[in-house]
């Protein structure tokens, strides 16, 4: 088969990790008889530098002409919050998610067998295993609500960010979560703050409706503060966790940390029709950019998700995941996951090692 992939290399370590991911894609192509065509798409701080805005005109169309989008990372101190919105990389990231309608963000957090010792939780807790899938709503809520900043008469400046959710938005992300749970251990934990927020009460009522419809899937409500606590107390209790945009942003960083390193976790963002977007959940790590130090595994595992979900090639996806586990089992580590005294390999070497196991 032939696939067309949009590559958003981005900023910081983005270009280095995307290079290694492309190496893996090509190796899979050789082994399994597929060909790939790549389209470079400029987005993020590098786009601001090149054309004056982080989300150049035509970006969404270019991505839509491809079968899938692979993104390294965007952002960096050079394009900070003091810059106008159209120059900030984060603006571009939110815009592409919205324009492609990528409302479902899947963030699997699994403790890889070879890395059990990297889990910062108690040994007994880690032994129970961690294998959860965070399903984060990605195109609604407070990230996209009306914002305002205005002068008050007696309290100085005031700012507001509106959090809004419609039944339609809640139902479609809820369905994703229940469908994913059916392919896994058949449990959905829906995270909200229904004791305080009206959006959460609506969220909960829609989820309850779905829970009745998907009666073969176990269901529970979890308050977001309690969920933050349960993730470090007993993460093994979770299978699919579904939540709104900002809660999901926060909880997915927490979930990644308990698996050892944020450098290991992939993600997929998908909608109903446009090509899905795959990216590591970590950022652009400007402090180590260009030094061959970054861990390419999260991006490589994102490529595995691309094969699984966008290309529907499960054997190829399995081969990539098995290659990563084999390399880790042999003891190879990048600096972020090496323990004291262990030697580390660089980005390129880690990429080559994974390729050689495919
Ligand atoms: C993420 C990131 C983004 C988000 C930032 C960079 C805007 O933290 O993908 O989790 O908050 O969604
Ligand atoms: Mg985040």
* 257-310 confidence digits (pLDDT tens): 898 877 899 999 999 998 999 999 999 999 999 999 999 999 999 999 999 999
Q: Which of 54, 134, 243, 249 to mutate to test the pocket of ligand 1 (most atoms within 8 A of CB)?
A: 249
For the CA of 138, the nearest atom of ligand 1: 12
Confidence of residue 236 (pLDDT cuts 50, 70, 90): very high
Tokens 């899937």 -> residue: 217
- pTM (predicted TM-score): 0.94
Whether residue 136 has pLDDT greater than 90: yes
Q: Is the dihedral of CA 130, 74, 105, 21 positive or negative?
A: negative
Q: Which residues surround ligand 2, an ion (CB under 5 A)?
A: 249
CA dihedral 11, 12, 14, 16 (to 10 degrees): 130
Q: What is the mean pLDDT of residues 78-103?
A: 95
Whether residue 73 has pLDDT greater than 80: yes
Residue range 173-218, pLDDT digits in tens = 999 999 999 999 999 999 999 999 999 999 999 999 999 999 999 9
Q: Is 193 a catalytic residue?
A: yes
Task: Give me the pLDDT at residue 68, please.
Answer: 98
| Residue nearest (by alpha carbon) to ligand 1 atom 11 | 249
Give Cβ neighbours of residue 205 (< 8 Å, ≥ 6 apart). Answer: none
Of residues 49, 67, 131, 253, which has the active-site annotation? 253
Task: Give me the pLDDT at residue 251, please.
Answer: 96
Whether residue 27 has pLDDT greater than 90: yes
């Amino acid at each position: 088969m032939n696939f067309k992939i949009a590559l958003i290399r981005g900023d910081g370590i983005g270009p280095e990790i995307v290079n290694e991911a492309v190496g893996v894609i090509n190796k899979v192509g050789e082994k399994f008889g597929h060909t790939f065509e790549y389209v470079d798409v400029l987005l993020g701080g590098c786009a601001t530098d090149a054309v004056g805005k982080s989300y150049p005109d035509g970006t969404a169309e270019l991505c839509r002409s491809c079968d899938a989008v692979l993104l390294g990372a965007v952002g960096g101190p050079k394009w900070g919050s003091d810059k106008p919105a159209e120059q900030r990389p984060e603006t571009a990231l939110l815009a592409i998610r919205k324009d492609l309608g990528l409302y479902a963000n899947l963030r699997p957090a699994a403790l890889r067998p070879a890395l059990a010792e990297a889990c910062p939780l108690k040994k007994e807790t880690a032994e129970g295993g961690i294998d959860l899938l965070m399903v984060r709503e990605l195109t609604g809520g407070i990230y996209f609500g009306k914002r305002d900043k205005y002068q008050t008469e007696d309290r100085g400046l005031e700012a507001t960010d509106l959090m809004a959710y419609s039944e339609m938005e809640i139902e479609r992300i809820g369905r994703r979560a229940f469908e994913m749970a059916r392919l896994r251990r058949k449990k959905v934990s829906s995270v909200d703050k229904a004791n305080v927020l009206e959006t959460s009460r609506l969220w909960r009522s829609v989820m309850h409706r779905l829970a009745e419809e998907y009666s073969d899937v176990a269901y529970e409500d979890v308050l977001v503060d309690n969920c933050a606590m349960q993730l470090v107390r007993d993460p093994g209790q979770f299978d699919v966790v579904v939540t709104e945009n900002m809660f999901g942003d926060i909880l997915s960083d927490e979930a990644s940390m308990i698996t050892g390193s944020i450098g290991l976790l992939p993600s997929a963002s998908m909608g109903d029709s446009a090509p899905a977007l795959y990216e590591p959940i970590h950022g652009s790590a400007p402090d180590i950019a260009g030094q061959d130090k970054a861990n390419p595994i999260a991006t490589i595992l994102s490529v595995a998700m691309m094969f699984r979900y966008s290309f529907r090639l499960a054997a190829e996806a399995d081969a990539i995941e098995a290659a990563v586990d084999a390399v880790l089992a042999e003891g190879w580590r990048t600096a972020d996951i090496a323990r004291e005294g262990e030697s580390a390999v660089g980005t390129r070497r880690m990429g080559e090692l994974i390729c050689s196991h495919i």
